[in-house]
Amino acid sequence: MTLILYSYIADLLFGDPQWFPHPVRGIARLVSFLEQRLIGRRLERLSGMLLVTVVVGVSIGCTYLFLRAAGAFGVFWRNAAWVFSSYTTLAVNDLLRHGRAVFLALEQKDIAGAREKLGLIVGRDTRNLTSAQVVAAAVETIAENTSDGIVAPLFYLFIGGPVLAMAYKAVNTLDSMIGHRDERYRCFGRFAARLDDVMNFIPARISGILISLAAFMLKKDAANAMRIMRRDAAKHPSPNSGVPEAAMAGALNIQLGGTRRYDGQVYAHPFFGDGGKDARPRIIMQAMKISFLSSVLMVLTGVLWQWIF
């Protein structure tokens, strides 16, 4: 229990420095290396399954061996390795830092800078977004990454330690890189996308509840968060992403979703929420507060669960 708290605090303090050899960047490089050698083959779906199996297997194996090797030097080094491995699966600091960067650019009326900073954390085209659209996109990614980057890794840390959490990060990285529905990845990335759906199913729903609870504690509209989550979550093409996004839209009384562009192509997207408030920059900060409090609640819930059972 204490080690997870240390891991969480380490993420808050240090985040993900670009100069540091982060395991998730190593996973991404491995995915790219294998993709170049496997995609385009005759049995694309099987090739995609092979890639997923190798990447997840290597991630599990390296984490396990790292922990075992550190443990050979004593309890202190074993615990230090446990904390380090766990900390690298979390993204609280990064999410808040990127969200704040977008907010500050908008506050300074630097719409071009806000679009550029938003482009670092979303996959859609940001070049022509209005200020309100930048705010909505930032809130969407804060909501989704509250689940993918915070709650889900913590969930797997609590039930399986760093090995299972790193397996989750491998699957999530695979989904972000090859789990697309376009012509290139429709077959090749299908297994990665489906496995990510399975592994995020429970954490996404926990995230929706935590966002609603955090909204209540911050005197936002918790009842509306639950209502919009029940009403709109299933509209999302993903079985999971709609849950935290709809909950956040309801909590803040704004409308998320709508048309967006990817690689110059326009895609229709469902709306979440009723849009009672204008999407002003301060909404980003409110979403960040809800996200951060949700992460604290997840840590406390997990610690309490382990203490009881």
Q: Is the pLDDT of residue 22 over 90?
A: no
Task: Check residue 180 and give its pLDDT.
Answer: 84
Chain centroid to CA 41: 31
Distance CA 236, CA 242 (A): 5
3-state SS record for 155-219: HHHHHHHHHHHHHHHHHHHHHHHHCCCCCCCCCCCHHHHHHHHHHHHHHHHHHHHHHHHHHHHCC
Which tens digits make up the pLDDT trace of 76-96?
Answer: 999 999 999 999 999 999 999
Predicted TM-score of the model (pTM): 0.94
User: Mean pLDDT across the stretch 209-225?
Assistant: 98
125 — pLDDT class (breaks 50, 70, 90): confident
Residue 217 burial by CB count (10 A; 0-12/13-18/19+): exposed, middle or buried? middle
User: CB-based contacts of 62: which residues, under 8 Å, 6+ apart?
Assistant: 23, 166
Identify which has the larger pLDDT, 40 or 74. 74
Q: Look at 162-166, 200-204, 226-230, 254-258 and tell me which has the smallest mean pLDDT.
A: 254-258
Task: Check residue 42 and give its pLDDT.
Answer: 78
278 — pLDDT class (breaks 50, 70, 90): confident
221 — pLDDT class (breaks 50, 70, 90): very high
Q: Which domain holds residue 177?
A: 2-308
Distance CA 55, CA 177 (A): 12
Q: Is the pLDDT of residue 244 over 70?
A: yes
Distance CA 102, CA 99 (A): 5
For residue 115, give both structure tokens.
């679009």
**CA angle (24 as vertex; 64, 284 as ends), nearest 5:** 130
User: CB-based contacts of 285: which residues, under 8 Å, 6+ apart?
Assistant: 99, 100, 103
Task: Check residue 227 and give its pLDDT.
Answer: 97
Half-sphere exposure in the Cβ direction for 167 (13 Å, CA): 16
Q: Look at 45-49, 69-73, 127-131 and tell me which has the smallest mean pLDDT.
A: 127-131
Q: How far is CA 142 from CA 31, 95, 131, 162, 229, in A?
A: 25, 7, 17, 24, 16
pLDDT over 90, % of the chain: 80
Residues in the chain: 309
Q: What single letter denotes the amino acid at residue 56?
A: V
Task: Check residue 1 and give its pLDDT.
Answer: 65
Structurally, how many domains does the chain consist of? 1
Which tens digits make up the pLDDT trace of 165-189?
Answer: 999 999 999 999 999 877 788 899 9
Half-sphere exposure in the Cβ direction for 68 (13 Å, CA): 7
Contact 189, 179 (CB under 8 A): yes
Distance CA 117, CA 100 (A): 10
Which residues is 260 bridged to in the sheet? 267
Task: Check residue 248 and give its pLDDT.
Answer: 98
Which tens digits make up the pLDDT trace of 290-309?
Answer: 999 999 999 999 888 878 77
Task: Check residue 56 and give its pLDDT.
Answer: 98
Mean pLDDT value across the chain: 93
